[in-house]
Amino acid sequence: MTRLAPLAQVSDFEIRLLRVFRSVVDSGGFSAAENILGISRSAISQHMSDLEQRLGLRLCQRGRAGFSLTEEGREVYQASLQLLGALETFRTEVNGLHQHLRGELNIGLTDNLVTLPHMRITHALAQLKEKGPDVRIQIRMVAPSQVEQGVLDGSLNVGVVPQASPLPGLDYQPLYSERSLLYCAAGHPLFYVGEATLDDAQLSVQDAIAPTFRLPVDIQAHYQVLNCTASASDREGMAFLILTGRYIGYLPDHYAQFWVQQGRLRALKPQSRYYDLSLSWVTRKGRRPNLVLESFIQSLGTTQ
């Protein structure tokens, strides 16, 4: 057989021919390989001829004396086992990435979401850890503006923030909503005023707290009718000030519940002084594919 130039590359076609060759050798001949490959003996013979032509090597002897490998055929067979084994290892490892995630998830959260009864974030993190035991989870508890900035600059993969006016470059998806009520603490004059005698005029003159993070316009209106003489960058800061007994302010009801049950906080006119704030998970538009992030987002959408 005329020898060709060295093989420049191994294409899909050569790999298919090598699979046929391996089956023929493992079966001990063309006839025995017919049932395994599901093709006729003549088709097998043609595949073998094509492979020999492409390699420029005689791989086997076939005829009345039976099937046998040439010396070069034995070497090609051993090399084909290594190649096909490496391809199978590659396939298994890549598929395993979907089942056994690796890498990091950097998530930024607005403070005091852990007391939400939905616990969708908690459940999604649990599912992520189950799918990828080696995934490293990094949580940053920061103000909403810092969460959004972190997602924009890539230091955070995903964040959860109150839904206000969307920033360009970010994608917001609704997660759930929380209700905030107007509270005062034990020691505040309004704490002891009966609900029936409590009126808006009394509320409007009390020292109150305003948040410094962005809120929708309709929710800002709830603060504009208060006498806001203090501010806080997060809900924990607002809680600190309310618990002094010197300020009134809004807190998520799930967060305030602990102090309400202790008799330390009271909701003021809860039938009218409340607002519902939507919380969204946020990612950067045009982000690079990230299996860890996509798995977490998928879990956020499926957990209840």
Please, which pLDDT band fits residue 303 given cuts at 50, 70 and 90?
Answer: low
The torsion angles phi and psi of 200, rounded to 5 degrees, stand at -65, -30
- Between 291-302 and 120-131, two packed helices, what is the crossing angle to 10 degrees? 140
Please, which pLDDT band fits residue 115 given cuts at 50, 70 and 90?
Answer: low
What is the reported pTM?
0.63
User: What is the pLDDT at residue 10?
Assistant: 79
**At the topology level of CATH, where does 12-99 sit?**
Arc Repressor Mutant, subunit A (1.10.10)
For residue 2, pLDDT over 60 is answered with: no
Domain with CATH 1.10.10.10 in the chain: 12-99
For residue 111, pLDDT over 80 is answered with: no
Q: Top-level CATH class of 101-304? A: alpha beta
User: What is the pLDDT at residue 215?
Assistant: 87
Domain with CATH 3.40.190.290 in the chain: 101-304
- Mean pLDDT, range 271-279, rounded to an integer: 92
Computed on alpha carbons and rounded to an integer, the radius of gyration of the chain in Å comes to: 34
178-208 residue pLDDT tens: 899 999 999 999 999 988 889 999 999 999 9
pLDDT above 70 covers a percentage of the chain that reads 91
- Mean pLDDT, range 163-175, rounded to an integer: 88
Nearest to 248 by CA among 297, 185, 187: 185
C-beta of residue 227 within 8 angstroms of C-beta of residue 201:
no
CA–CA dist 251, 259 (Å, integer): 11
15-65 residue pLDDT tens: 889 988 888 888 888 888 888 888 888 898 899 899 888 888 898 887 776
